[in-house]
Amino acid sequence: MATPSERLPADATPVTDSADASAKRKVKGASWFHRTFESLGSSQYRMLWFGLLLTMAALNMQMLARGFLSWELTKSPLMVGLTGAGFAPPILIFSLFGGAVADRLDKKRIIQFGQLGTGVLGLVIALLIVADVITIWYLIGASVVQGFLFSFMMPARQAIIPQLVEKEQLSNAVALNASGMSLMTLSAPAIAGVIYANGGPEAAYFTIAGLNIAAVLLTSMLNPAKSAGTAGAMKMGRMWSDVKDGLRYVRADRTVMLLLAVTMVTTILAMPLRTLLPVQIEDVFMRDVKSLGLMLSMIGVGALLGSLGIAGLKTSQHRGFVLLLTTVISGVAILLAGLNTSYFVALAIMVIVGLGDAGRRTLNASLIMENTDAAHRGRVMGIYMMNFGLMPLGVLPMAAIGEAIGIRWAFMLGGALLIAAALVLTVATKRIRSL
């Protein structure tokens, strides 16, 4: 039988931690519980995971604070949508470069750079609120800068995972990442709603800044294994060459290309719901920011349950079909969100939204990484992130529809289109169904 160090990923050197090596052994026929939390046996992965918790707590607090503050400043669904989508153009433009940088430079430092920059952004917005000079344009500007930071940080965060766990644990580690995100989606918005209601938006943004700084300190403890990528100094000419090589790689790999197409469709049609919930809270339900926090938390309940279930899936359990099925579930939930006028029914619907989100995001990312070689993983994850830059193609039309004829009609249309797209993908993509 191979030793733990002999069963490290193909793109990593052994991690000299005997406790980790023992914890990472693969037990054939292991229980669902063991399979679900297996990757947390690595202390290196735990550091990444806890750092992720802090970063995602800050992000979810910011989504609530930025969305509700935008609504308070403008009372315009279109401006709320524009603020929420402001991060998308930089992601669309820079994620390819972010992926190339992640394949060549130290992923840990890239992650820390993004965490620190996001913390400084939160602090700046908090100080602008305290000085009583905050406007919607500052919020849009902060959203744009955050998109630039995330276009480098997120590909590096995804691409570093194979350097911390065994190859066989990769899907589990990605699912546990999604579980961590879901846990913060569950708890952080409700906490942010209370902070915002009692201390004002400035208190929420000071908290956001503090969480990101703490994440920098935690991530500093990472000591990832060496990658077999194209490490070396970054030069602009070489970067362009790396980017083009990544695009050629995706074009030649039909499986990865189809999985990225699923990401694009679901991002455009499913993501706008969260951005526009502040409009629904006040226009349809006549409630306040704490109620918005509870709604976002219910999305987290569903996402946490869904991602934990997916973390325990075996690789033989038709995960591609599950990916397409959860996309249909997302569409049904968004359609129901538009049809519904009861706040308490909406809380239940948000759980279903979370279940669909967990399947789409977790399985999509893990299947892409599993089907990508180590040398191109950062660039492929950069292309994956670039899809989120297309979010305005969904958010802005839905916001415009919401402003013209009501937010309920916008949600119903988005849900119906997502269901239709998911059914077409299910019928037309045997390659994904068989994964």
Distance CA 210, CA 120 (A): 9
Residue 133 lies in a domain: yes
Distance CA 330, CA 328 (A): 5
Q: Output the pLDDT for position 345.
A: 95
Q: Output the pLDDT for position 155.
A: 83
Distance CA 328, CA 367 (A): 18
Extract the tokens encoding 323. Answer: 């990916």
Contacts of 260 (CB under 8 A, 6+ apart): 250, 368, 383, 384, 387
Residue 21 lies in a domain: no
| Residue at token pair 């579930």 | 329
CB 161 within 8 A of CB 174: yes
CA Rg, the chain, in Å? 21
Considering the entire predicted model, what is its pTM? Answer: 0.69
Q: Output the pLDDT for position 434.
A: 72
Contacts of 109 (CB under 8 A, 6+ apart): none
Q: Identify which of 388, 410, 264, 278 has the alpha carbon closest to the alpha carbon of residue 334.
A: 410
Extract the tokens encoding 80. Answer: 């709320």
Contacts of 279 (CB under 8 A, 6+ apart): 71, 77, 80, 402, 407
pLDDT mean for each 10 residues of the chain (435 residues): 38 41 46 68 84 90 90 88 84 84 85 93 95 94 92 85 78 77 78 90 95 91 65 57 82 85 85 85 86 85 79 66 86 94 94 84 79 79 78 84 90 93 81 72
Q: Output the pLDDT for position 235.
A: 52
Distance CA 108, CA 336 (A): 41
Q: Output the pLDDT for position 33.
A: 62
Residue 22 lies in a domain: no
Residue 241 lies in a domain: yes
Q: Output the pLDDT for position 32.
A: 55
CB 301 within 8 A of CB 184: no
- Single-letter amino acid code for the residue at 204: A
CB 154 within 8 A of CB 98: yes
Residue 7 lies in a domain: no
CB count in 10 Å sphere of residue 25 = 15
Residue 325 lies in a domain: yes
Distance CA 31, CA 39 (A): 14
Residue 429 lies in a domain: yes
Q: Output the pLDDT for position 26.
A: 47
Residue 11 lies in a domain: no
| CATH number of the domain that residue 215 is part of | 1.20.1250.20
Q: Output the pLDDT for position 115.
A: 93
The tally of domains found in the chain comes to 1
Domain that holds residue 150: 36-220+234-433
